[in-house]
Chains A and B, each alone.
Chain A
Amino acid sequence: EDQVTQSPEALRLQEGESSSLNCSYTVSGLRGLFWYRQDPGKGPEFLFTLYSAGEEKEKERLKATLTKKESFLHITAPKPEDSATYLCASRGGADGLTFGKGTHLIIQP
């Protein structure tokens, strides 16, 4: 059974204070590692898909990286509008995604 574990559960940063979110996964035959952002009461917003170890993708202040066991979402010089829950999900043998519980990120001005 696929498993995805995210840490920390919650993270509070000052504006401009860079940090990383962790996603550990156990998946048989990984066919994609996904990162989403979810705001309260809304559906997940797609950020990145990573397919193989060593792959990196960037978008504005976010960079996602992938190893054989983990993925990291690096946030550089975050702003208050980056506050959200960040979800990591895997696709293995089935087409549906297995989600972690998310990291609730708060950026204080």
Chain B
Amino acid sequence: GAVVSQHPSWVICKSGTSVKIECRSLDFQATTMFWYRQFPKQSLMLMATSNEGSKATYEQGVEKDKFLINHASLTLSTLTVTSAHPEDSSFYICSARPEYEQFFGPGTRLTVL
């Protein structure tokens, strides 16, 4: 299967700071990548669809000014959580698809103190 990586795997930050998470497709090019969020004992919820060279499409209820997405190349998308607060603490997972199947990264655990 296709390989998707994320960095960092975990991050702890103070309230009010910004955190950037990287998502890379290692063995294929992805014009579209996806960002999901997963709270404890909950399922994955789609936050936004990241399109290479254009603006991301956000799901209803997701603040685009708080979760900045940049898809600058066919193998890299970044999610920046701006002015993070404790309620933003969650497991953030990206995915990408070479064709029809969608493959997921290992996830980034964000803890905001």
Within 8 A of B (CB), among A15-52: 32, 34, 36, 41-46, 49
**Nearest A residue (CB) for B2:** A46
Within 8 A of B (CB), among A58-109: 87, 89, 91, 94-102
Q: How far is the CB of A8 from chain B (nearest CB, A)?
A: 15
B43 to A97, Cβ gap below 8 A? no
Question: Chain B residues with Cβ under 8 A from A49's Cβ?
Answer: 100-101
Secondary structure type dominating chain B contacts: strand
B34 to A101, Cβ gap below 8 A? no
Q: How far is the CB of B75 from chain A (nearest CB, A)?
A: 17
B105 to A43, Cβ gap below 8 A? yes
Count B-side interface residues using an 8 Å CB cutoff.
24
Question: Chain A residues with Cβ under 8 A from B109's Cβ?
Answer: 41
**Nearest B residue (CB) for A94:** B49
B43 to A87, Cβ gap below 8 A? yes
Question: Chain B residues with Cβ under 8 A from A101's Cβ?
Answer: 42-43
Counting chain A residues whose Cβ lies within 8 A of the other chain, the interface size class is: 20 to 34
Within 8 A of A (CB), among B65-113: 91, 93, 95, 100-107, 109
A46 to B101, Cβ gap below 8 A? yes
Contacting B102 at CB < 8 Å: which of A41, A42, A97, A100? A97
Q: How far is the CB of B36 from chain A (nearest CB, A)?
A: 8
Question: Chain A residues with Cβ under 8 A from B107's Cβ?
Answer: 41-43
Within 8 A of A (CB), among B24-68: 32, 34, 42-46, 49, 59
